[in-house]
Amino acid sequence: ITSVFLNKKNFDLYFCADGMHPNELGQALIAETIINEMNYFSLAI
């Protein structure tokens, strides 16, 4: 998950003001990443 954030050009847009916790956009990115990975692995089975 960390690499997904770091691959974004402006990854700071995905975090709250504290710089540690993901904001709404960050939460959506996490969810999208997990769903994509689950779909990938379910196709491989």
pLDDT band at 42 (very low <50, low <70, confident <90, very high): confident
Q: Which residues contact 14 (CB under 8 A, 6 or more apart)?
A: 5, 8, 22, 23, 25, 26, 29
Q: What is the pLDDT of residues 13-31, one digit of tens each?
A: 999 999 999 999 999 999 9
pTM for this entry: 0.82
Tell me the CA distances in angstroms from 40 to 16, 31, 45, one per residue in order.
Answer: 30, 14, 9
User: Where would I find the H helices in 1-45?
Assistant: 2-6, 24-44
